[in-house]
A and B are shown apart, each in its own frame.
Chain A
Amino acid sequence: MELEENSPKQNYTEAEKQTIFHGEFMPHINSMYNFAYRLTLDADDAKDLLQDTYLKAYRFIESFQKGTNAKAWLFRILKNSFINDYRKKSKEPSKVDYQEVESYYNSEEVDRQITPDLRVEALKDMIGDEISNALNALDVDFRTVIILCDLEGFKYEEMAKILDIPIGTVRSRLHRARNLLKEKLSEYAKQMGYKTA
């Protein structure tokens, strides 16, 4: 498993393990739940995924170095558990499909097409689930970068580590993801009767 590779194994007493678990891992549980829920889009799966992740984190606690970024460490475990245990089962596109999707969205061609004209006024009226639905409708890899960056405030470098991709890919994927999100939002805006210029 990926947890051992980076840092040398620490030697913690049982008391230290408890302190780390409760003091450094548990404070991120709401963010972690939200991430699990947004990845699986199912409350039961989110529960299982969260529980698996925290138990795994506890089991591999000696791969965690005190004072380093616990939140990023936990997010990485959760993301890997999702890929290994859940993504296969779900209807998400396979890796191959995804690469096609990404290269499609990476072409400058598409970049020029997707400049949805969405207005701030329309957003102000989206007081229901519009934004949440728009986010959930994105392909999981695009959804993920928006969650990590815009909801959780991770830096590009941290995202690169969590996702095991280069920083340049983080930046471009994020840009595509935001364009796609705006595209969804402008569909809602149209339905709400806003004219897009």
Chain B
Amino acid sequence: MSNPDPSKMKQDCPEKNECLKMLQVILDGEATPEQKEHFLKNHLEECMPCYKNYHLEVAIRQLLKTKCCQDAPQELVDDIKTKVINNLAS
């Protein structure tokens, strides 16, 4: 996305909440190409609240991915494998 000129953007969005829902559907990869096209090209660059929301949504997703994933302890992984192998033998 290019860097839109803030002075030319709407400072208020009459449909901020509906737009946020659409934005999330787009970021979730669940929007149709037409929805994406309309929103990302025709709306986002003209609308300050939605433009800000877009960056916020993206930042939160990144933060979640980097901070909220932890691996299983190796001991536990080995334990599960062993239990299943024993299960196979019995």
Contacts and interface: CB of A to CB of B under 8 A. Distances in A.
B21 A120 contact: no
Interface residues of B, number: 35
By DSSP majority rule, is chain A's interface helix, strand, loop, or mixed? helix
Contacts of A146: 64
Contacts of B21: 171, 175
By DSSP majority rule, is chain B's interface helix, strand, loop, or mixed? helix
Contacts of A47: 73, 76
A185 B30 contact: no
23 contacts: A21-B84, A29-B72, A29-B80, A30-B71, A33-B76, A34-B70, A34-B71, A37-B70, A38-B68, A54-B80, A112-B17, A119-B56, A120-B55, A120-B56, A123-B63, A124-B59, A126-B63, A135-B64, A151-B65, A151-B68, A171-B21, A174-B24, A178-B57
Interface of A: 14, 17-18, 21-22, 26, 29-34, 37-38, 47, 50-51, 54-55, 58-59, 111-112, 115, 118-120, 123-124, 126, 129, 131-132, 135, 146-147, 149-151, 155-156, 171, 174-175, 178, 181-182, 185
